[in-house]
């Protein structure tokens, strides 16, 4: 159970004073997700992205032009709009001995201005100072204050990510309210580390972040920000350490085969394995033969040939008369895996079945029976494999393709399907070392660094969307020459429906030109239609496949050698790389056309340049990290990865090793989190919502 001291933070945002249902709705949109509305903690963790400096200049002459300026001045004169010119602004002249400034008000409330700017009095004025015809002026000052009001306001004002309907002042007030609800919590950091780091406490850090004491306090790398970033890293490392410990404790089983099936599969392959594949296979078999559980990450760029490695691992399980599952993130991928693996499995006498949410009725019952009585060696599917009612006779190995949706939670579920299941996670995202640590803790890693022989480099070009006609022409010629083309439509906003509309429209336009050669695939199509579209493209019946990003992961049609990506400027680097990995798999030379709509911002431009320069997934991942650090204005939830609320891998990455060591040591010394520090750590896990790991403690 969550410690009650955290209750105020996990209460809805509407429990903050001044936040009614209407504001609450807007906050839900900004900070909530499909499953829940905005909570106080979401506001607490909604950190300022910058600050406005309202420290006063000594005189008007010293006040910076072109920036926010704050100064004290005497109100000299009110200048109403000339009679008959109702649209002209109302002006107020203020001055000191060094100069004057004209304050400009459109649609002025004159009575109000006479009250707030009485002639002869001094006021502190803050806003953007400009030069107009050589004269200083300020249109609609942000603040007009007397000395008392000025003293009560922070000189450094935090700036928050906003949403329509919530302006800066309101957001600042709400965030301050959230900071006020932050309890002073018992310290969970290691005392020695805490002393050495000179970190503030969590409470102090949150206050400093929302009430920045100086400008530096909001610019990136401050001690308060790092403190909380470290807390988050620590929480995730402790959660991982707990899972890991439990997995180790549940002793593994020895899965050792005689190599017969593996040899049969290798003999049936139309190619020979790369050295990387051989090494990975050897690593995996060695793990499986040990009495501990395997927890291994197989990392290899798109097209590096991970699937075969997985198949050989599953074959080893079958040799030991035990079962395997292979889990894909989408229906399409699961089907494709099953189709590709089936002939090879067949040759080796392995029995393979598909199980997704779409298998129904008698077919489904048959698969479930086969899994329960052991007639099926390999089940390929989606997360439907985890569901209740799916029982295995003797599950030895789970292969998880594409790790992103496979968190701690899923690992625990998987554990319930068989004792001591070995786990192989495959990812095509070349995760830089620092990041793989945060995601996977101390997983063992195998890397496929070389591509299979015979791959040709992909020519990548960036083309303005104004030249769409030329691109369509080139696509037509490529199709005439026998090529197949992926045509990817962009992410329009964050709405599925709009994406689909864009794809639909492009599909219809291309259909007019190329007729039945054009196919369409998007996320909102019924599963059957998706299969049919994919199958038609795979079989070469359609030559151009217009799609949304549903083809992003894993799809494999070797004859596809051209990819057009519309609005490439809207995609992240990792995504572009994943998409492009769908081509360049066959014997023909491949081309990727990145259509962009200008003018390009510096980050988008840098992304396209990198895409043109390299196919090296690791380099792209590093560059991606770098650009994300500098680039995107981070409104709300878009920090480096969806898993992080505060920590910025590109900045706080250096703290990661410390967090990991700390977590390991803690779990070693206090495995049940019972000491005072252990208790504080429990609170930490709840605070960052890593508390699923706490269940493991009770399970003991």
List residues near ligand ADP by CB under 6 A. Answer: 271, 273-274, 277, 300, 302-308, 428, 452-453, 554, 556, 558, 585
Alpha-carbon gap, residue 666 to 369, rounded angstroms: 44
CB 682 within 8 A of CB 694: yes
SS3 400: strand
Q: Which is nearer to ligand ADP, 94 or 553 (by Cβ)?
A: 553
Of the listed pieces 146-154, 524-532, 546-554, 654-662, which binds Mg ion according to CB under 5 A? 546-554
Of the listed pieces 369-377, 386-394, 525-533, 549-557, which binds Mg ion according to CB under 5 A? 549-557
Closest residue by Cα to residue 310 from 335, 349, 277, 346: 277
User: Angle 306-319/275-289 helices, nearest 10 degrees?
Assistant: 30
Q: Which is nearer to ligand ADP, 585 or 660 (by Cβ)?
A: 585
Give the pair of three-digit tokens for residue 44. Answer: 């607490």
| Smallest distance, Mg ion to C-beta of residue 309, A | 10
Which residue minimizes CB distance to ligand ADP?
305
| Smallest distance, Mg ion to C-beta of residue 300, A | 9
Alpha-carbon gap, residue 380 to 337, rounded angstroms: 7
Q: Which is nearer to ligand ADP, 305 or 418 (by Cβ)?
A: 305
CB 8 within 8 A of CB 686: no
SS3 362: helix
DSSP 569: G
End-to-end CA distance of the chain: 16
The one of ligand ADP, Mg ion, none whose footprint includes residue 106, by CB under 5 to 8 A per kind, is none
Size of the site for Mg ion (CB under 5 A): 1
| Smallest distance, ligand ADP to C-beta of residue 618, A | 14
The one of ligand ADP, Mg ion, none whose footprint includes residue 303, by CB under 5 to 8 A per kind, is ligand ADP
Of the listed pieces 75-83, 154-162, 235-243, 551-559, which binds Mg ion according to CB under 5 A? 551-559
Q: Is the peptide bond between 157 and the residue preceding it cis, with omega within 30 degrees of 0?
A: no
Binding residue for Mg ion, selected from 200, 300, 554, 640, defined by CB under 5 A? 554
Closest residue by Cα to residue 566 from 487, 504, 466: 487
Q: Is residue 257 a contact point for Mg ion (CB under 5 A)?
A: no
The one of ligand ADP, Mg ion, none whose footprint includes residue 585, by CB under 5 to 8 A per kind, is ligand ADP
Q: Which is nearer to Mg ion, 554 or 584 (by Cβ)?
A: 554
The one of ligand ADP, Mg ion, none whose footprint includes residue 632, by CB under 5 to 8 A per kind, is none
CB 560 within 8 A of CB 484: yes
| Smallest distance, Mg ion to C-beta of residue 634, A | 31
Q: What is the DSSP string of 267-291?
A: HH-SSPPPHHHHHHHHHHHHHHHSS
| Smallest distance, Mg ion to C-beta of residue 200, A | 46
Q: Which is nearer to ligand ADP, 306 or 580 (by Cβ)?
A: 306
Pairing of strands 422-427, 395-401: parallel
| Smallest distance, ligand ADP to C-beta of residue 448, A | 7
Alpha-carbon gap, residue 579 to 335, rounded angstroms: 19
Alpha-carbon gap, residue 59 to 73, rounded angstroms: 8
Give the pair of three-digit tokens for residue 49. Answer: 């992205």
Give the pair of three-digit tokens for residue 552. Answer: 């992003």
CB 621 within 8 A of CB 429: yes
Q: Which is nearer to Mg ion, 72 or 427 (by Cβ)?
A: 427
Q: Which is nearer to Mg ion, 187 or 339 (by Cβ)?
A: 339
| Smallest distance, ligand ADP to C-beta of residue 483, A | 17
Residues near Mg ion (CB under 5 A) are 554
């Amino acid at each position: 159970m969550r410690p009650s001291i955290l209750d105020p933070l996990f209460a809805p945002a509407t429990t903050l004073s001044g936040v009614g249902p209407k504001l609450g709705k807007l906050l839900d949109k900004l900070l909530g997700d499909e499953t829940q509305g905005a909570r106080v903690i979401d506001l607490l963790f909604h950190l300022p992205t910058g600050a406005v400096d309202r420290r006063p200049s000594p005189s008007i002459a010293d006040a910076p032009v072109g920036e926010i300026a704050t100064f004290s001045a005497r109100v000299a004169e009110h200048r109403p709009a000339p009679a008959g010119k109702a649209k002209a602004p109302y002006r107020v002249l203020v001055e000191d001995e060094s100069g004057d400034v004209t304050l400009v008000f459109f649609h002025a409330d004159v009575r109000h201005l006479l009250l707030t700017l009485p002639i002869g009095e001094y006021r502190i004025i803050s806003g953007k100072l400009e030069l107009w015809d050589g004269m200083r002026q300020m249109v609609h000052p942000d603040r007009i204050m007397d000395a008392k009001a000025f003293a009560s306001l922070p000189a450094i004002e935090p700036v928050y990510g906003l949403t329509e309907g919530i302006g800066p002042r309101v957001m600042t007030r709400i965030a301050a309210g959230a900071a006020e609800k932050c309890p002073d919590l018992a310290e969970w950091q290691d005392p020695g580390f805490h002393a050495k780091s000179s970190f503030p406490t969590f409470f102090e850090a949150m206050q400093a972040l929302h009430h920045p004491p100086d400008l530096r306090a909001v610019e990136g790398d401050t001690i308060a920000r790092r403190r909380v970033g470290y807390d988050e890293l620590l929480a995730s490392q402790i959660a991982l350490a707990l899972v890991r410990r439990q997995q180790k404790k549940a002793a593994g089983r020895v899965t050792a085969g005689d190599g017969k099936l593996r040899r049969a599969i290798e003999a049936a392959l139309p190619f020979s394995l790369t050295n990387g594949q051989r090494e990975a296979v050897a690593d995996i078999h060695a793990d499986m033969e040990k009495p501990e559980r395997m927890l291994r990450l197989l990392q290899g760029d798109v097209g590096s040939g991970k699937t075969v490695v997985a198949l050989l691992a599953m074959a080893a399980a079958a040799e030991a008369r035990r079962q395997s599952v292979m889990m894909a993130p989408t229906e399409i991928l699961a089907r494709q895996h099953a189709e590709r693996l089936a002939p090879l499995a067949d040759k080796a006498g392995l029995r393979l079945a598909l199980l997704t949410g779409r298998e129904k009725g008698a077919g489904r019952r048959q698969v479930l029976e086969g899994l329960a009585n052991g007639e099926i060696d390999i089940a390929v599917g989606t997360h439907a494999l985890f569901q209740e009612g799916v029982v295995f006779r003797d599950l030895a190995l789970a292969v998880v393709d594409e790790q992103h949706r496979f968190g701690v939670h899923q690992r625990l579920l998987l554990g319930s399907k068989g004792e001591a299941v070995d786990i192989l996670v495959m990812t095509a995202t070349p995760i830089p070392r620092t990041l793989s640590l945060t995601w996977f803790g101390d997983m063992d890693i195998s890397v496929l660094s070389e591509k299979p022989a015979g791959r040709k480099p992909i020519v990548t070009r960036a083309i303005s969307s104004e030249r769409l006609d030329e691109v369509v022409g080139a696509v037509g010629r490529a199709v005439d020459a026998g090529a197949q083309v992926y045509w990817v439509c962009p992410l329009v906003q964050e709405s599925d429906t709009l994406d689909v509309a864009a794809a639909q429209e492009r599909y219809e336009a291309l259909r007019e030109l190329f007729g039945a050669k054009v196919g369409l695939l998007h996320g909102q199509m019924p599963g059957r239609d998706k299969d049919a579209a994919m199958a038609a493209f795979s079989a070469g019946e359609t030559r151009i496949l217009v799609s949304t990003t549903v083809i992003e992961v894993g799809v494999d049609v070797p004859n596809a050698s051209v990819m057009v990506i519309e609005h490439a400027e809207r995609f992240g680097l990792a995504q572009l790389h994943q998409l492009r990995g769908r081509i360049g798999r066959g014997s023909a030379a491949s081309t990727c056309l990145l259509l962009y709509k200008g003018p390009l911002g510096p980050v988008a431009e840098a992304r396209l340049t990198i895409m043109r320069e390299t196919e090296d997934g690791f380099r792209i991942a590093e560059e991606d990290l770098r650009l994300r650090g500098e680039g995107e204005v981070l409104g709300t939830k878009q920090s480096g990865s969806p898993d992080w609320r505060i920590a910025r891998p590109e900045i706080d990455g250096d703290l990661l090793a410390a967090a990991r060591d700390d977590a390991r040591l803690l779990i070693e010394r206090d495995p049940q989190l019972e000491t005072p520090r252990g208790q504080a750590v429990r609170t930490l896990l709840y605070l960052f919502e890593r508390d699923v790991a706490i269940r493991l403690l009770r399970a003991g």
